[in-house]
C-alpha cells in the first residue's frame, strides 16, 4: 500500500491509515442527513448480520451432530472445526459484503447505511475484513463501552472507524456534492 501524492497535496491509496491531513469527503456539519441515526442503524444492522452469520454455522453444527450419531460418535470430532470455520466465514462475509458493490453487509443494506472511506471511495475486500477484526478486538479488549466513542464525534465514527479512516452514511440521504474539506 504505497501512498501516491497528487497535485492537490492530499494522499491517496492509503485510506486505512489515520492521516489527519487527508481530505474528508463527508462533513457532518454541512451534510447532517448523512449521519442522522447512523449509530442506531448500525446496532440493528449488527444484530441482523449476527443472524446471517449464525445460520450457516448452526446448519453445519446440526449436520455434524447427525453425522456423529450415524458414525457412532466419530463424526463429533468435526466439532473442533466449527470455530475456525466460523471465523473464516465471518471474515469472508464482512470482506465481501463491505468490499462489494453496495459497501454494506446485508444488515446494513436493510437499515439503509453503507461504509465509505474518508475520501468518499467505496471500501475494498481487505478493508472490510480488517474492519471486522478491529471491531471484535476493540470490543473484546476495551469492553463494549468503546462504542460510546460514536456519540462524541460528528461523523458518528467508532474507534475502529477512526483508525481505518472509514465512515458510515445513510444511503437514502441526499449528500449533494461531495465536499472536500481538510482538517487543520
In a domain, 118, yes or no: yes
Q: Are 108 and 86 in contact (CB under 8 A)?
A: no
In 20-101 the beta strands, taken as DSSP E runs, fall at none
In a domain, 135, yes or no: yes
Interval 128-163: pLDDT, tens: 999 999 999 988 888 878 788 888 888 889 989 999
Interval 7-45: pLDDT, tens: 344 444 444 455 555 566 777 788 888 898 999 999 999
In a domain, 179, yes or no: no
In a domain, 99, yes or no: yes
How many independent structural domains does the chain possess?
1
In a domain, 176, yes or no: no
Range of the domain at 161: 22-170
Amino acid at each position: 500500500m504505497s501512498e501516491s501524492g497528487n497535485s492537490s497535496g492530499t494522499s491517496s491509496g492509503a485510506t486505512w491509515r489515520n492521516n489527519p491531513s487527508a481530505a474528508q469527503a463527508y462533513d457532518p456539519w454541512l451534510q447532517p442527513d448523512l449521519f442522522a441515526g447512523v449509530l442506531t442503524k448500525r446496532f440493528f444492522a449488527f444484530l441482523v448480520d449476527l443472524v446471517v452469520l449464525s445460520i450457516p454455522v448452526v446448519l453445519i453444527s446440526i449436520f455434524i451432530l447427525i453425522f456423529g450419531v450415524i458414525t457412532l460418535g466419530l463424526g463429533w470430532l468435526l466439532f473442533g472445526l466449527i470455530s475456525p470455520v466460523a471465523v473464516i466465514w465471518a471474515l469472508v462475509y464482512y470482506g465481501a459484503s463491505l468490499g462489494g458493490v453496495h459497501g454494506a453487509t446485508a444488515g446494513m443494506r436493510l437499515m439503509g447505511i453503507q461504509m465509505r472511506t474518508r475520501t468518499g471511495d467505496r471500501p475494498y475486500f481487505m478493508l472490510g475484513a480488517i474492519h471486522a477484526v478491529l471491531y471484535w478486538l476493540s470490543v473484546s479488549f476495551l469492553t463494549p463501552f468503546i462504542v460510546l466513542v460514536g456519540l462524541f464525534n460528528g461523523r458518528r465514527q467508532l474507534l475502529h472507524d477512526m483508525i481505518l479512516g472509514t465512515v458510515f452514511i445513510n444511503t437514502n440521504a441526499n449528500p449533494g456534492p461531495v465536499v472536500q474539506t481538510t482538517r487543520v
